[in-house]
């Protein structure tokens, strides 16, 4: 009641001293979203102001997290975030999670590392520039230059940071079983090992 009365009095004083002619600009953050509005002061008396204070009791966060885990298989993720985890914008939180997953993808990590190495290759320190150049060549699968000492060039199969020799995702990364462990492979192995079946 105190904050509500204070806000209503502030609006009345603003309307009185501006004589309803000067617009005012308000801005803030509501449910995680920034906003900005311009109000005509002659309309301020029409706004209803209601203040509320949300208490936080001891161990409330712990209890809410426990409840969220218990209802995870019953309620939707959006409902759990709104009701138990105090997330005002579940859609934005989901977008952030997708951004995190995208940034954690091996291809994105390799891209970021390559960009950083290219920056370091322009360094004024010759040691850092040389090391960065060698790392770039290794990631690209090319031969190293200087100080090789007769070593063989690094092949594509030796490139680091890749899921396979060609850089493409493996079948396991796509959710398939490893070679030789699928049902068809096991059935083929049984038919070849059983006597009298032309194995």
- From the list 147, 145, 141, the residue with the least C-alpha distance to 133 is 145
Q: In this structure, are residues 89 and 32 in contact, taking their beta carbons and an 8 Å threshold?
A: yes
Average pLDDT, the chain: 78
What is d(CA 85, CA 169) in angstroms, rounded to the nearest whole number?
36
pLDDT in tens, 63-77: 888 888 888 888 888
**pLDDT at residue 190, rounded to an integer:** 62
Q: Where are the domains of the chain?
A: 2-46, 60-95, 106-158
Using the predicted structure, report yes or no on whether residue 151 has a pLDDT greater than 60.
Answer: no
**pLDDT at residue 17, rounded to an integer:** 85
Tell which wins on pLDDT, 32 or 52. Answer: 52
**pLDDT at residue 193, rounded to an integer:** 61
Backbone angles phi, psi at 33, to 5 degrees: -110, 130
Q: Quick one: DSSP state of residue 157?
A: G
Angle between helices 126-140 and 106-121 (to 10 degrees): 150
**pLDDT at residue 175, rounded to an integer:** 64
pLDDT in tens, 83-129: 888 887 888 888 888 999 998 899 899 888 889 989 998 888 888 88
**pLDDT at residue 24, rounded to an integer:** 83
> Is the whole model's pTM more than 0.75, yes or no?
no
pLDDT band at residue 153 using 50, 70 and 90 as cut-offs:
very low
């Amino acid at each position: 009641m105190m904050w509500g009365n204070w806000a209503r009095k502030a609006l009345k004083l603003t309307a009185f001293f501006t004589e309803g002619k000067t617009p005012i600009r308000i801005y803030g953050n509501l449910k995680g979203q920034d906003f900005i509005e311009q109000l005509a002061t002659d309309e301020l008396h029409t706004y209803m102001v209601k203040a509320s204070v949300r208490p936080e009791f001891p161990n409330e966060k712990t209890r809410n997290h426990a409840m969220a885990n218990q209802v995870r298989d019953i309620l939707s993720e959006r409902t759990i975030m709104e009701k138990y985890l105090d997330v005002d914008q579940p859609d934005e939180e989901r977008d952030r999670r997708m951004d995190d997953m995208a940034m954690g993808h091996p291809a994105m990590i390799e891209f970021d590392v390559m960009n950083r190495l290219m920056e370091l290759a322009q360094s004024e320190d010759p040691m850092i520039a040389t090391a960065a150049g060698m790392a770039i060549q290794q990631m690209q699968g090319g031969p190293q230059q200087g100080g090789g000492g007769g070593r063989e060039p690094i092949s594509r199969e030796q490139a680091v940071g890749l899921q396979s020799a060609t850089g493409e995702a493996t079948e396991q990364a796509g959710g398939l079983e490893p070679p030789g462990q699928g049902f068809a492979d096991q059935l083929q192995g049984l038919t070849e090992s059983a006597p009298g079946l032309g194995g």
